[in-house]
A and B are shown apart, each in its own frame.
Chain A
Amino acid sequence: MEIDLISYASKIRGWNAAFKVSFAVLLMILCIGLNNPYVSAAVIIGMAYLIVVKGGLSVREYLLVLAIPISFILLATITIAVDFAWKPIGQYNLHLGFFYIFTSLEKLEEAIFMILKVFAAVSALQMMTLSTPSSEIISVMRKAHIPKLIIELMNMIYRYIFIILDVYSKIKNSADSRQGFCDFKTSLHTFGGIASNMLVISVKKANGYYDAMEARCYDGEMIFLEEDKKITMIQFISAAMFISVLFLIWGFTK
């Protein structure tokens, strides 16, 4: 939800969505394909520049958004760097009661490179999600010929997440005000009640929704007005230059 708000507030929201999406995907592919820590570092810095300086997001907020993927990345890469053994082996080891954890410089390096690579790919995607509202991303996917059914579902789900959250919080508050969550057993019972009520409301709302769509000449195909924002030459050239720089870095550090 936070991310949704940020994307609407972003200063680079006005950039062409297809441009941002393809740029992000291309960078992600380069990070993985070139598999080069310097390239990854360059992407991380470049994306941070785009999000914070160009997009106008505060550093603190950016770090908060990144905290979730970072913790996942760290947890995942620790298992690459560290191993268990019963005897003290490896370059570095640490005695923990009856077993040892050990690692080596080579393995640490591998883990750090891995972190950089994943982190760069993630930040490229973050650049996209933090500056492009979902509706625009969906419209790019439609242009990429993703099946219509999926696109329509995505549109409706995106719209409905907010409505359902709203309804949920209202029901929850009213249950809460009547002591519906006073102890664990009651909470479980109340939650069950809320869940079944939500289902009924969803079905009802879906009917109302359909009526409203039909009233506006809906005939089986959801089409929305989409207007393309222009790509400026400067954006295009900068993106091309950034990518060539990445290739240069890769060439020199191979």
Chain B
Amino acid sequence: MKEPILSIRDLYYVYGNGQAALEGVSIDINEGEKIAVIGSNGAGKSTFFLNVNGVLTSKSGEIRYRGTIINKKNLKELRKNIGIVFQDADNQIIASTVRAEVGFGPMNLKLPQEEVIRRVDEALAYMNILDFEDRPPHYLSGGEKKKVTIADIIAMKSEIIIFDEPTAALDPLNAEMLEEILSKLSMEEKTILISTHDVDFAYRWAQRVLVFCQGKIIADGTPLEIFQEEEVLKKANLKRPIMLAVYEALVEEHLLANEKIYPKSIREFREMLSKMRRSTLLSG
């Protein structure tokens, strides 16, 4: 088996006020995986992300990035390779023009100026925001700000990209745009972790789901496995994705044959229906 890109062992983190936020988190993340991190508010998702990025220092436990243990000396290497797109864009955007903002990460990597400019141009073109490169962030809309924060991370060429509740402040159109970007990033073999409350999105998009509950990972598996476990869902205060619930209801009522197809989106559901009709027509 391939070596995991990121491997975390027994991570403990305690907040300044003595409140434990992570209580022994262990996980291996493989290259190119699409992982959804779900769990109720305060379950430790954001704390986990900040620990993984090295912004918060864990009380105990170890983080290995491509086999090397991360310590104070090579922390920068970790931050370079793991980028976080924060939930609130206003907490992330620092510079007063979009260009300078996207260049902030590469500048901190101490790259030569030409390289920084090249990367900024690339990232802006990637996110399709070249037309407002000179605008200050306070005259951007929410969706535009989100694009800028994603461009921030793309310019750093991180191998792992973490999105902290990216869809929280987006309208449906921008959420759709985000999913397009995610699939584009996946095609480039980027490893993506997304924390979300949107179980339908997690079910549709992810290859693997991690469920956080009170500072621990209580479940780790494919979306189908996770969302079929009643106990896990109850413990983490989660709902079943609508597509799954509808499918199971149809099977239960014998309106559908139990072929274990499990469509994940409306499109897949329609495809399944038309395929079934065709097969009944053929047999009938």
Name A residues whose Cβ lies closer than 8 Å to a Cβ of B.
4-5, 8, 133-135, 155-156, 158-159, 162-163, 166, 205, 208-209, 211-219, 222-227
Contact = CB atoms under 8 A, between A and B. Distances in A.
Contacts of B12: none
B107 A223 contact: yes
Interface string B236-276: 00000000000000000000000000000000000000000
B76 interface: yes
A179 B99 CA distance: 42
Contacts of B136: 4, 8, 133, 135
Contact of A215 (B83, B96, B99, B109): B83
Nearest to A226: B100
B91 A159 contact: no
Contact of B152 (A4, A216, A227): A216
- Interface SS, A side: helix
A8 B139 contact: yes
B176 interface: no
15 contacts: A135-B100, A155-B96, A166-B90, A211-B91, A212-B91, A214-B55, A215-B50, A217-B108, A224-B95, A225-B95, A225-B99, A225-B100, A225-B113, A225-B116, A227-B117
Nearest to A167: B90
Interface of B: 50, 53-56, 76, 79-80, 83-84, 86, 88, 90-97, 99-100, 102-109, 113, 116-117, 120, 134-139, 152, 156
B117 A216 contact: no
A224 B100 contact: yes
B79 A215 contact: yes
B105 A211 contact: no
B97 A214 contact: no
B88 A217 contact: no
Given A216-B105, A216-B108, A219-B108, 15 more contacts: A8-B134, A135-B97, A162-B138, A163-B138, A205-B90, A205-B91, A208-B91, A211-B56, A212-B92, A215-B55, A217-B80, A217-B105, A224-B95, A225-B95, A225-B113
Contacts of A227: 99, 117
Given A215-B79, A216-B152, A224 B103 contact: yes
A222 B108 CA distance: 8
Nearest to A155: B96
A212 B94 contact: yes
Nearest to A208: B91
- Top 3 A-B pairs ranked by shortest CB distance? A225-B103, A162-B138, A135-B96
B96 A134 contact: yes
A4 B91 CA distance: 21
A211 B50 contact: yes
A225 B109 contact: no
Contacts of B156: 216-217
A225 B104 contact: yes
Given A159-B94, A225-B117, A216 B83 contact: yes
A155 B101 CA distance: 12
A166 B106 CA distance: 29
A5 B135 CA distance: 10
A67 to B, nearest CB: 24
Contacts of B88: 208
B193 to A, nearest CB: 13
Contact of A224 (B55, B56, B93, B107): B107
A18 B232 CA distance: 61
